[in-house]
Chain A
Amino acid sequence: MIELQRLRETFRTALDLPADAPVDDLHYQDNDKWDSLAHMSLVAAIEDEFSVMIDTDDVINMSSFAEAVRILGKYGVDFDA
C-alpha cells in the first residue's frame, strides 16, 4: 500500500490537485488538470519517483490511474507490498 500511496501523491503533485483529492478513478482528460501537457509532467514525475524509464507505448497507454498502476507493475513496482 505504500507504493500506491506514493503513486497517489505523485499524481496529485504533478496534476496540481489538492492534497486530499481522490485520484484512484482519474482518467486522462477527464478534467482540465490532466491534459496532454500535464501528461508529460506526470510521466516525468512518475519516472523520478519510482526510478523507472517508461517506454513510448506505455506513455500513450497510461490513460487512467488504474492503467498507471498496471503499467508500473510491468516495470517491477510492487503495489501489494
Chain B
Amino acid sequence: MSVFTLSQPEREALLHKELSELTQHHRANSPEYDRILAASGFTSAATVAELPWLPVRLFKNLQLKSIPDDEVFKVLTSSGTTGEVSRIYLDKAAAAAQTRQLGATLQQVLGPRRLPMILVDSKGLLKDRRSFSARGAGVLGMATFGRDHAWALDPDGKPDLDALRSFLDKHGSEPFLIFGFTFLVWLHLYEVAREHGLDLSNGILIHSGGWKKLVDQSVSPEEFRRRFREHTGLTHMHNYYGMVEQIGTVFLEGPSGGSLYCPDFADVIIRNPRTWQEQPVGEPGLIEVVSTLPTSYPGHVLLTEDLGVLDGIDDGDWPGKRFSVLGRLPRAEARGCSDTYREAA
C-alpha cells in the first residue's frame, strides 16, 4: 500500500476534487477562513493551482480552526525564528490520520517492520514530558518507526561513542534506521563515524532540517551523500521536507538522491514570487504545499516562505513532481502578502 503511486494527471484530478471539498468544508466551519476567502473574491477553482492559498505565517497571527473548542484534541506549536508561534488544532480524527499517513510515507523506504534505531539526539530532549520542544516532538514521532533505540548524543549533547559502538555490535549487521536533524547528523554522526571507522553500511538514514547551516560549512547535499558513502559505507539516505502547519505530510527524497517526492495525498506548486504564476521545471520560486490531511484547520493549501525548484514531473524514482528546496525567502519580501490577509481577516 504505497503512497507514491499517482502520476501527475491522476494526482491533480484527485486533489482538485478533494481539496475543493476541503475548501468548502473549512469555509463552512471557520469564520476567519471564510472571511479571508470572501475578501479575496474566491468562488471556485478549475485546477489545484487556482485554489486559494494561505501564507503559512498566518497561523502565527490568527486562530484558524474548523472544529469546535470541545473537539480540540491536540494543539501543536512551532516556534519561528522570531519567537512567533504557529498554533495548529487537531481533533482526534486529524491526529490519527496524520500519524497513519506519516507512517505510510516512511514505510516506502523503511518497509513494514520497525528497525533497530539510532536517534541522533540526546535523551534529555524528552525530559519534560509535559512540554516537548518542536524538536522533541519530531524525534518522538519518528521513534515509533524503530525499536531498541540508541541515543547518539549524551546528556550534554556530545557524541556518545560507546552507545554507538554497542548499538552497532548488536544491530550493525542487519538493516537499521538512523534519524536526526541534518545538521546534527553531519556534525555528530558523520564526523564521529569517520574518525572511528564505524560501519554504517546497513543503515537507512532519515533526516530533516534545512541545508543552510551545512551550506555555510560548504557541504552541499551531494557532498553530504558522497562523504557519508565514502567514509561510513552509508548509502541509503533520505532527506525530507515538512512543516508543523501541515503535520503528517512529508516530501521524501527518493532512492537516487537529490529530489523530494510528494505522497499521493499531497503536491507542490512552485510560484513566481512577483507574479504568483506557476513556474515551469527548472525555474525557482516560492513553494506552495497542498495536502488533504488538514481537515480540522484550513491548512490544506499553504504558501511557504521557502524557495524551491521543480526538478521534473513523472520522470524520477517515483511518480509525480520532484523538487528541491533552495532555502528561505528573505524575510522582508514575504511579509506583504500575509499583511494583506491580516487586514482582510
Contact = CB atoms under 8 A, between A and B. Distances in A.
Interface centre among A37, A39, A44, A53 (most CB of B within 10 A): A37
Interface in B94-147: 96, 99-100, 103, 107, 110, 112-114, 126, 129, 140-141, 143-145, 147
A63 B126 CA distance: 22
Interface centre among A43, A47, A56, A57 (most CB of B within 10 A): A56
A53 B147 contact: yes
A37 B139 CA distance: 11
B144 A53 contact: no
Given A53-B114, A57-B112, A40 B96 contact: no
Interface residues of A, number: 17
Interface residues of B, number: 19
A1 interface: no
Interface centre among B107, B126, B144 (most CB of A within 10 A): B144
A56 B143 CA distance: 10
Interface string B281-305: 0000000000000000000000000
19 contacts: A29-B73, A35-B129, A36-B140, A37-B126, A37-B140, A44-B147, A53-B114, A54-B114, A55-B113, A55-B114, A56-B103, A56-B107, A56-B110, A57-B107, A57-B112, A60-B99, A60-B100, A60-B103, A63-B96
B198 to A, nearest CB: 25
Given A36-B144, A55-B113, 10 more contacts: A29-B73, A37-B129, A37-B140, A40-B143, A40-B149, A54-B114, A56-B103, A56-B110, A57-B103, A59-B144
Contact of A40 (B73, B100, B144): B144
Contacts of B73: 29
Contacts, number: 41
Interface in A8-59: 29, 35-37, 39-40, 43-44, 47, 53-57, 59
Contacts of A56: 103, 107, 110, 112-114, 144-145
B51 to A, nearest CB: 30
A41 to B, nearest CB: 11
A43 B129 CA distance: 18
A17 to B, nearest CB: 16
Interface centre among B112, B114, B145 (most CB of A within 10 A): B114
Interface centre among A40, A44, A63 (most CB of B within 10 A): A40
Interface centre among A35, A55, A60 (most CB of B within 10 A): A60
A59 B148 CA distance: 14
Nearest to B100: A60
A22 B113 CA distance: 31
Closest 7 A-B residue pairs measured CB to CB?
A: A55-B112, A60-B103, A37-B129, A56-B114, A60-B99, A36-B140, A56-B103
A72 to B, nearest CB: 15
A36 B147 contact: no
B123 to A, nearest CB: 11
Contacts of B147: 43-44, 47, 53
Contacts of A36: 140-141, 144
